[in-house]
Structures are given as structure tokens and as C-alpha cells.
Amino acid sequence: MSAVDPHGGQPVLFAGAATGEAKGAMILVHGRGADARDILGLAEYFGRPDLAYVAPEAAGHTWYPNRFLVPVEQNEPYLSSALGVIAGLVADIGKAGIGPERVFLVGFSQGACLALEFAARNPRRYGGVFALSGGLIGASVRADNYSGSLAGTPVFLGCSDVDPHIPLARVKESSAAMAALGGTVTERIYPGMGHTVTGDEVEEIRKVLATVA
């Protein structure tokens, strides 16, 4: 593991169609303490075997060491390395002929935070961005940290109102920031839910995937 790029060279797991033949691709980003195989298991619930599913794995099962609410410097170089992993996968998928408008970013917990942060820092028209229990990264959400346009990208944020790891205020701030970047945002707050993925969230993802013929 490199001190500069701690997630460089980590495993990447694949499922579904080969990228050269797929109608689209989904990058699935796992949470703290989990691994690529865990998050890749979601693919079977989407009903789209014609998509390529790509799941990177964090070094030590953690994308960054501290909470996502601390100043970003306190999570470096891990945060930049993690965002670089996603950027590399988007580029590789593009080389296989799948443009970003057919790339879907899905993350849970730490992975949700990364999916949102990557899309906000690299705005363009994606197939969709789905943050399952997560928010934008940093001590605060500042609109001047981001520029560009998501060009109508469907963005979904789902979270409990009492999630012990994700403050409700940060979810709402993140929704507003993604909307300001031109995302078509759906926010779904689930009363009393634990830190988990729900069937309703899976269904929301399926609805957006249905737009890819």
C-alpha cells in the first residue's frame, strides 16, 4: 500500500455483462468495514444482467480513516486516493465504449459519501448517482467548493432520520448542493430506519435503470 495512493492497486470485482458488451455500467462503492463482494451482492436485485457491475475495494476495508464530517485534510491522502479509484474506473469504462451518461454511481455509507463527492467534484451527465445513507464530505457543505453541471443527472439520497452516522442536516445540505449543480434530486427520508439499505431504495434505483434501453 502506497503512502501517497493507499487504495492504488486494490482489487476490483466484476459481475454482469462484460464492459465491452454492456448497455451501461454501475460502480458500486462499499462502506466502512465491508468489502467489494458485499456491495456487489446488490446487483442481483436490480434485474439488469445486461449491465456491467464494477466494485472496487478499499485498503483495509476503509476508504478514509475519520468521519466524513471532519475537515477534508484530516482524511487525506485516503480521500483523494479513493476518489482517484472512482475516476479511474469511469475512465476505463469509457474506454470500453460506455460514456458517463450510462454510468451509475451507487454507494452505501462511506461509499455513498464518496459517490456524491465524486459526482459533485466531477459534474457531468451521469446515468444516475445513488447515495444510500451518506452525504457530501467535509466539515461543511459549501457551494463554492463545486462548479460545473450535472446536466439533469438523476440523484437519489436515501437515509434514516435518526441514522447514528449520517446527520439529517447533512443529507439535506447535500441534496441542495446537488440540485444547485443541476442534478434532478430525489431525497427520501425513512423514519426510524437503521443504517441499512431498504427495498424502497432498490426500487428507486431500478426505476432509473429502466431508462437505459
Q: What are the residue ranges of helices labelled H in 60-209?
A: 78-95, 110-121, 168-180, 199-209
Distance CA 94, CA 85 (A): 14
Closest by alpha carbon to 202, among 192, 80, 61, 190? 190
* Residues acting as catalytic residues: 109, 163, 195
Q: Do residues 36 and 103 make contact, with C-beta atoms less than 8 angstroms apart?
A: no
- Cell 483523494: give the residue: 80
Distance CA 79, CA 83 (A): 6
